[in-house]
Structure formats: structure tokens, C-alpha cells
Structure 1
């Protein structure tokens, strides 16, 4: 028996390592390629078409094929940026209390009954396609808003209502994981000192899980910020500064999905849309950095 020759297990280990490294390499190439493609197209607006960056960020007129009185293209993205942040923040603010309440019910109040009732509901909400949410919002939420507040019914309020339901399962699931990650000895110590269950939940469990709960909220915000189809159907798709919650406006994603097919690659209108995509990419990176930062600060020390 030759003891110097590699064993079968060693060959399998090397083969598995090569396959893993190959997959990691392919993923890295794909990510770098996507970043390069979006960045090169998005930056062409400023370097190739000589659009002023501040004008792009702070301008309120969006019509890339038309020049203003000074001879500059009308590529102001401020209305879409403002609307995207407003819809994202409002949907997160509305969804957070419901998500945390559902997570507390599933983990602290009635774990068995809560899991049997709420877990299938969360899974059902996750599995519904975005177009279904948008259609329900267009046929149910928009007429209700029109009746109660007047106007056409489309706008930030309708978009917030749709996104609230869409991000609720994400925030709830991550909140459940955050609450389950709280060490059990903290609960036992609080109860042993005479605290009630609600005092333990409020002053011990929620405070200990705050960093992870913030991570769940940011995940939900990232989900809302990048949603396109459902918001597009209820937002109004008018590139105007929002003057209220029921005025027609547009987000970055809705403008991209409605206009990218009507432009020619390499032209200013097309490059301007890729600049909007670059803003979305940068915001995704910001959300990921926030999640990593909060995640590091939220680790429980043994």
C-alpha cells in the first residue's frame, strides 16, 4: 500500500475546493461587471454629455430631450430622489410597529400559536408577485384614497400603502430572528428580579435586540427603495416635486421601468436613466454598509 499517494478523500477535498473557488470567481466577475456597466453608463451623463452634477441632483425639471433657456438639458432628478426617500421612509415607519408587534407575539407572548397563525401569513405575503400588489393597490387602495382625500388617488400615500404590505414580511421575519437571538439568561434574570413579562419585553428584550431590529428595518427600507413594478402602478409616474401625499409623482425605479425602453443606447436620455440606476446602486451600497455597521455593534457579548 502506497502511503505517499493522495487518498480518495483528499482528491474529493481538492475537487470541492476548486469548484467553490470557481463559483466564487464567477460571482465576483458578475458583480464587478454589473458595477462597471452601470457606472460607465451612468457617469457618461457627466463626462460625455457634460451635464453638471449639481444640476442633475438639485434640478426639478426632467425632459432630457429638451434644452432649457440656457441651452442645458433638463435632467433634474430631485423629484424622483425625494419621492423615493419619502415612500421608503414612510413605508418603514408604518411597517415597523406592526412587524415588531407580530414578532413579539410569535416569540414572547404566544410562540406556538403565533407561529401557526402568522408564519403562513408571512409566507403567503412573500410569495405574492409584485404585479399583484400593484394591481390590488390600483383597484382598491387608489379608489379609497380618491374617495377620502380627493384628487386622482395616486401618489406617495398609495405607494406607501402598497410598500407597507410588501416589506412587512421581511421586517417581521428578521425581527423574529433578532428577538430569538437575545440570550435566554437575560429573560430569566429579569423575571427573577420581579419584573413582569411586559417589563421584561420592554426594558430588557427590546433594548438588547435594538441593533438587530434596526438591521431588520434597514433591510425593509432597501427592499422598498428598489421596488419598481408595484410602485409604478400607483405612484402616478409624473416627474413632479411632490406637493402632498396624494399628488402624482415618480420614483427612481418607476421612471427607469417606464422610460428605458423608449430611449436609444448611448444618447443623453438613455445615459440620464442609467445615472438614475447608478443612484439606486449607490443607495444599495449605503444600505449594506449601514447593515454591516449596525450588525457589528449589535453582537451580543458572552
Structure 2
């Protein structure tokens, strides 16, 4: 069993909003940050394909504990696709499978883009990181093995057509985490009878952060001295959650695993309703725990979802 790496003095705790460039994989970007900036405890909240650019939430240090609460958030994308062809990867970077004439109108294209909002499930692309019996589907596809068809539920909360210049079109879509935009485009091409492939994709937002908070990879790597200033501190990584600063005695209770009572007076400390989620800060204002209001002994209490104190 390998020895646990000692925490580097350069290690930050929080979230970096990265504007991933098109080309490298999400893992490539994280590896550069990890090794060049000595951020050995690192993760991300939602993979972007090599073709895609835009918001990639990079979790650092104790920020990696936020994975379940950032990864599942709604994503917003703008993208373009080309009608009249299909590829094995469902995007322009794959091997061409078919080519067809395009005999459709701009109105036809807009109708099919807007139809995405009616979809409740989609087929997972064969070239994806989704796994079957422990192996990623892309590994099976590259090895020439049969790739099982996997269907997953999706939620499309917003969709709009931005432009149509046949055979290409552009769009904006907001969707549930894990939605494959390549598959949305592929399904559109099938419905239109001529095929379609994704040609560009940019993630504008991975809630709760957008491109306005993002840094370019080159800027991050070329200016290591300012890297800590680019990292959103742990206490500010869930701005849509209420924060409660506790007294020193209450902080000690939480660190011992105690569920604190939910206050039913709006505006008061620890106020909330069943199902609410919040971040607790200790008496010094440091992140202490993520909590959710649940019933215990028929009384609403703040249950501890994840402790944020302690050393790596």
C-alpha cells in the first residue's frame, strides 16, 4: 500500500473556475495544474470533451469534498452543429460514418432544436467515459468490442436557436448534469433524416459559476505567484447556500457529530426548513461543515453531510 503524499505548502483549498481550451482533455488540464503548481489534491465537477471549451470547475484541497454538490448542478452551453453527416464519436473529430444531402429549411431546424426540451432520456455515446462492467465505453469502442446501449434520464430546462446558416446551426441549451450535447445533436440529425454532428461546444456556466469568473489555462500556469488569488475560498464556493457562523461551543458539538436544531424563526441563526442545505462556519469564520435539514426524533435538525475541517 503506497504512502499518502504529504500536503504541499502550495496546496490551495477551494475552487478554480477554469476556462478550458478546446483540444486538451479535462484530465490533461488538471494534470498540468497538479504538477506545475503542486496542487496534488485536485478534482473537477463535470468533464468536458476535448472538443469542448468553457467552464470547468477545478476543486482543490478541501474543495474536493464539494464534488457531489457541484457536479450535479445545471450546465449551460452554446454550440454549433453541421447537418448532412454522421461520425462514430457524434462530433466533428470522429471518423465519418455517412454523408447525406441536406434538404431542410431553417424553420425545420429550429423546430427540432426546440424539441430537445421535450426529451426526458437519451442514448449514451459509445465514445464516452460511461462505464460497463468497470470499463469505459470508449475503451470498448476503440478495441472493436460490442458497446452496450445505455439510456440515461435527462432534463432540458432551456433551449433556443441562435442562428441557422445551412448546413450549420448554433444553439444555447441548459440541461441536467451528465447530458451529452453530442447525443442531442445526433438525435436531431436522425429525426431530420440527414444526420448531424457537433462542430463546437462552449460551456457558459456550471452552476453556480460562469465564464465571468473563469481564468484561461495559460494565465493560470504562467503566473504561479498569483494562483492563490484566482482560487475561490472554500467558504465562498456555494454562494447559493446560506451560511451560519457558530459560537465556539456549537462548533465543538458539530465536530463531535452533533446535529444542531433547526431554528424556525426566519432570519435567525440556523433558521431553515426541511430539505434546506447550508454551510456552517466555525467561530472564526472558517468552513466547518455542509448540512441539510432533516428529521431526527421527529424534530428538524441540521444533519452533517460533509465535514470541512481538519488536515489533508
Q: Into which bin does the TM-score normalised by the smaller protein fall?
A: under 0.3
Q: What TM-score comes out, normalization by structure 1 length?
A: 0.23
Structure showing greater radius of gyration is: 1
Higher RCO (C-alpha under 8 Å, 6+ residues apart):
1
Bigger helix fraction: 1
Q: What TM-score comes out, normalization by structure 2 length?
A: 0.22
